[in-house]
Amino acid sequence: MLTITINGEPNQVAVGCTIEQLLASFEKRGGPVAVERNAELVPSSEHATTELQSGDKLEVVSLTGGG
């Protein structure tokens, strides 16, 4: 297991877990999200191939439209 931080909270994930798998496990697929990993935005096209590493710090933000 790896220890990562998601929105300021420590979490455990399996070795080899991708951002896409993480989002699915937290049921965040209901709408678009932005994911920042270690202060860098990860494009959604890279979520399926970006493996998490121990110590990663993620910020996950739900995107909403409006005016």
Q: How far apart (Å, rounded) are the C-alpha atoms in residues 29 and 42?
A: 16
Please give the DSSP secondary-structure letter assigned to residue 51.
B
pLDDT in tens, 1-27: 999 999 999 999 999 999 999 998 876
Domain 2-62 has CATH 3.40.47.10: no
Closest by CA position to 32, among listed 65, 66, 2, 59: 65
Domain boundaries, the chain: 2-62
Cα angle value 47/55/8 (rounded, 5°): 80
pLDDT in tens, 24-59: 887 655 678 899 999 999 999 999 999 999 999 999
